[in-house]
Amino acid sequence: MKIGIIGTGAVGKTLATKLAERGYPVLVANSRGPAAVADSLGASIADVIPSSTSEVLGCDIVILSVPWTKVPDVLSSGGPKDGRILVDATNIFLTYPPNARLDDLKGDSGSEIVARLAPEARVVKAFNTLPIAAMFAPLPKGTKRVLFVAGDDASAVAPVAALIADLGLHPVTLVSLPHAGRQMELGGPLSALELLTPAEEAA
């Protein structure tokens, strides 16, 4: 199963490193082409394949980790096709902290907007509820960190939950983009909520 990642910021780099370490073939793109991806990733991520955005969009699971304001650009070709899985890791910042401004979606939600921009993809929301450093920060012995994952299609959520588990996190699967996706969005009750669970229970 090929994993594609769009974005070489903190999220893209971290997930690329960790997924490659676990043996997944990982293709990564940014806005400037494969040579710039290789520069951004550095030699430490030797197993990752620097790629174009269109190559990444052909992967089985595509993780969208770009600024919210760039999402329409990135998905201007209609996003992944043929029911491929698009994991929306974005948050609806117009500008980042410390001068954070959020987009006013007027009752809409980020992932539903992503889903409309990528109508042939099965969209799953994940990796957005915690800062990436906190997501993989050291844990008290015998615990796992919960990561929420939500979507409308259980057969798309399941492989993303499996990836999350492979990354050492405890996936908690929620149903639907309109409902759970909103709860996971900035300002929602699951955004920035850090939960730990006993590792045996998680298993």
Ligand X SMILES: NC(=O)c1ccc[n+]([C@@H]2O[C@H](COP(=O)([O-])OP(=O)(O)OC[C@H]3O[C@@H](n4cnc5c(N)ncnc54)[C@H](OP(=O)(O)O)[C@@H]3O)[C@@H](O)[C@H]2O)c1
Task: Give the position of tokens 């050492």.
Answer: 168
Tokens of 194: 């850090």
Give 83 or 131: the residue with its C-beta nearer to ligand X: 131
The nearest distance, CB 131 to ligand X, in angstroms, is 4
Cα Rg of the chain (Å, integer): 16
The nearest distance, CB 201 to ligand X, in angstroms, is 25
Give 76 or 155: the residue with its C-beta nearer to ligand X: 76
Contact positions vs ligand X (CB under 6 A): 6-12, 29-32, 36, 53, 65-68, 70, 73-74, 89-91, 93, 127-128, 131-132
**Distance between CA 103 and CA 83 in Å, rounded?**
28
With CB atoms as reference, the residue minimizing the distance to ligand X is 9
Give 122 or 125: the residue with its C-beta nearer to ligand X: 125
Give 48 or 89: the residue with its C-beta nearer to ligand X: 89
Q: How far is CA 86 from the centre of its chain?
A: 8
CA 71, 45, 68 angle in degrees (round to 5)?
10
The nearest distance, CB 163 to ligand X, in angstroms, is 15
What is the β-pairing status of strands 170-175 and 122-126? unpaired
Give 137 or 162: the residue with its C-beta nearer to ligand X: 137
In eight-state DSSP terms, residue 179 is: I
Query: Smallest Cα–Cα separation from 54: which of 34, 39, 25?
Result: 34
Q: Which residues pair with 64 in a beta bridge?
A: 6, 88
Q: Which residues pair with 149 in a beta bridge?
A: 126, 173
